[in-house]
Structure 1
Amino acid sequence: MLTTEASSSYTDLEKMPIHELLSSINKEDQTVPQAVSKALPQIEALLAQIVPRMKAGGRLFYIGAGTSGRLGILDASECPPTFGVSPGLVVGLIAGGDQAIRSAVENAEDDWDQAWVDLQAYKPNERDSLIGLAASGRTPYVIGGLNEAHKAGLLTGCIVCNEGSAVAEAAEYPVEVVVGPEFLTGSTRMKSGTAQKLVLNMISTAAMIQLGRVKGNKMVDMQLTNEKLVGRAIRMIMEEVDVSPDEAASLLDEHGSVRAAIEALQGKK
């Protein structure tokens, strides 16, 4: 039996008072960062291969089904506003297409060929990288996509939550984060989903830092899409070049980004 399908360490959940339910879920959640920590060498090995390809113009694709697919789409969709990159640099695909983001699509994850078909819209090439996301490690949509991507010369990796899985076998650089049985038996949207989210945070953030999309500890290329972000941008400029709030706001308005504003002022000094 897969670890992710093993019976929960807790029973009679329906008899638990709310406090016990919450404290038990929290207790289980605390084991997730420990499991991710054990996988750090695998995550590093995968990133060490992805970054040079992205520097050479390659893209990063995620494929998955259900919760895993949604997490990939979430991570990809947050890269443009956070780091100012184009929407096509990091792309998330889910079995069943966009409608599956909100509603389950029957049997979509069981199609061995569809992931590679879905990827064709992006004209994948050998500079690109593909990460398969599957808590179980046995999703046909993901396995098929990884196999075809490898044949086409793409770098392949994965994030799974079971050891020795078919998905890991199909990937050149597997990441296995074994979090153990879920609090609610088989509900991999819980610990497994949290583990995948943590690893995706690491991969995209570290990659963007390596690509020069961060200065110091600041998101200097972030998109200024609301007042909160404009305020943050103004504070960044003030901290970096020691100007007043009004001067920082004027620089931001003139140059359109934190990076451009800072570089323009520094160039005058």
Structure 2
Amino acid sequence: MRILIPALVLAACGGGADGAVVEGTFGPGLAADGVWVVESERGERADSSGFRLADLTPGPVSLRLIRGGDTAAVLNVSGLPDGARLRLEGLRVDGDTRYAFPRSIELDGADVVTVNGMRLAPAGRIPREVDVEGAVLAWSSDIGALLVRPADARMPDLRVVVGMATEVVGTDGGGADAVNLRPGDSIRVEGRADEGYVVATRITMPVRIGGAAADADSGADGDALSAASRVRIASPPPLHGDGTDGGGGGSSSTAAAPAPAVPIARAPQGRGNDDRGRGRGRGEERGKGRGHDKKNRG
């Protein structure tokens, strides 16, 4: 009896449910028959329905999705406390790096989670009206897409849609040109959230003198900036001529951050990664940004 009572007490207090849970399903082009946890040297089975890992120790978790004895994809996850549950929906793999990114996530027990360097959260956790300060991680004028890391660590990285109606101004209140946006710039984004994207109505960016930002303070951490030149941003949803969301969009529009392709040869084992991208900007007229109609990334 002295043995059974402590066991019953632990079960009633949830002692047997310690540790984090990570689940995943596979999108097109990705299949695995096993999952390997690098830190604990532990393997679990996977099948066409996905995988489930329970009782994971809090802290960075390095996962390898295995197919036929080879690594099919890499998942570096951090930010999961005891009792947290993360579900990664529709994982797809970048062929160059083998990094896998989800189409969308479910997350309980934490505000955000980091997956292969991307700060993610369920799309519903982005407020409807957005007014945030943060740092530019990547910018692509070709698809009118801006990737921003909010200063508030409880918010995910934001996919910002820059359209014809987006007003771009400098911190001095005058007109600005989005072509001068650079990774690491501290900016302010105002707009509205729509299924994980932020459709920007106004962007306030640093004033540049002779190509250098007059604002000395950068809102991005060194790790994010060091990887900023190695990411290609996923396409935003199609835009109308007024810069608003066209209302269509594919499955990727449900994620709270893009699934970038990070051209690095290999993820280091046993550690998380923070890989970001660098794009170029383009603007037109005083106080206006420019975006282009593009379909979602399949």
TM range, smaller chain: under 0.3
TM-score (norm 1): 0.25
TM-score (norm 2): 0.23
* Structure having greater relative contact order (Cα 8 Å, sep ≥ 6): 1
Give the structure with the larger strand fraction: 2
